[in-house]
């Protein structure tokens, strides 16, 4: 990744941590493309690269307080993606050597998603009914916090809590299973 892209990514993540949702969505979109390129190059069957993308985004989200706000973003992103990739192979009972070299990563090209059934969809089924409907409304139906609150007759705070707990529970399942 070149210096400009690196700086933009850091700026977006800093803005996100300061509470800018739009910057956060932009950051996640760009990061997803980078991780997708990384995962597709490392995986030859056995694991769906898009599952790695989603597990990595979720881990980045839950662990974004571990990023040092004055540090470059990409070493942090790649370290998490590599960890999730190795973990995915380990869980599926396969041993792989994921090369630690940085050279291959610098040529990673952002790539677009292809559609298929995702592990995260199956994990969603393990949530409590309330959490599941809130997470689904916001993610799949693309509703805002306010719209979701109106739809279910909940307060916005309750929606935020249900969303956060739901996401944390999904992230935990990825870590454990």
Partner 1 sequence: MQTNDLINALRADAAKQAMPLGYSWWIAIVAATIIAAGAFFILIGPRPDFTVAAHTPRFLFKFIVTLALVVVAFALLRVLSRPGSDVRHVAYWLVLMPILLGTAVAAELFAVPSDQLVTVWWGSNVYVCLTFIPLIGLGALAVFLAALRHGAPTRPRLAGAVAGLLAGGIAATFYAAHCTDDSPLFVATWYSIAIAGLVALGAICGRRVARW
Interface with partner 1 (CB under 8 A): 16-17, 19-21, 24-25, 28-29, 32, 50, 53-54, 57-59, 61-68, 71, 75-80, 82-83, 113, 115, 118, 120-121, 124, 135, 138-140, 142, 144-145, 160, 163-164, 167, 171, 175-176
Q: For residue 73, which of 113, 15, 139 has the smallest C-alpha distance? A: 15
Give the shortest CB-99-to-partner 1 separation in angstroms.
15
Closer to partner 1 by CB, 99 or 113: give it: 113
Distance between CA atoms of residues 138 and 146, nearest Å: 10
2: left (phi over 0), alpha (psi -120 to 50) or beta: beta
With vertex at residue 108, the alpha carbon angle to CA 102 and CA 113, rounded to the nearest 5 degrees, is 140
Give the shortest CB-23-to-partner 1 separation in angstroms.
9
Give the shortest CB-132-to-partner 1 separation in angstroms.
11
Give the shortest CB-80-to-partner 1 separation in angstroms.
5
Give the shortest CB-96-to-partner 1 separation in angstroms.
15
């Amino acid at each position: 990744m070149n210096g400009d892209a690196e700086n933009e990514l850091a700026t977006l993540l800093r803005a996100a941590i300061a509470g800018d949702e739009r910057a956060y969505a932009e950051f996640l979109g760009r990061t997803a493309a980078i991780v997708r390129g990384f995962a597709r190059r490392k995986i030859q069957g056995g694991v769906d690269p898009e599952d790695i993308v989603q597990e990595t985004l979720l881990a980045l989200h839950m662990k974004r307080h571990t990023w040092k706000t004055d540090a470059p973003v990409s070493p942090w992103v790649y370290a998490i993606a590599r960890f999730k990739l190795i973990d995915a192979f380990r869980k599926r009972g396969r041993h792989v050597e994921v090369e630690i070299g940085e050279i291959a990563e610098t040529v990673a090209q952002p790539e677009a998603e292809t559609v298929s059934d995702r592990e995260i969809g199956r994990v969603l089924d393990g949530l409590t009914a309330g959490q599941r409907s809130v997470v689904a409304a916001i993610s799949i139906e693309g509703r805002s916090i306010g719209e979701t609150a109106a739809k279910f007759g909940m307060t916005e705070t309750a929606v935020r809590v249900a969303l956060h707990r739901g996401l944390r529970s999904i992230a935990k399942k990825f870590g454990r299973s």
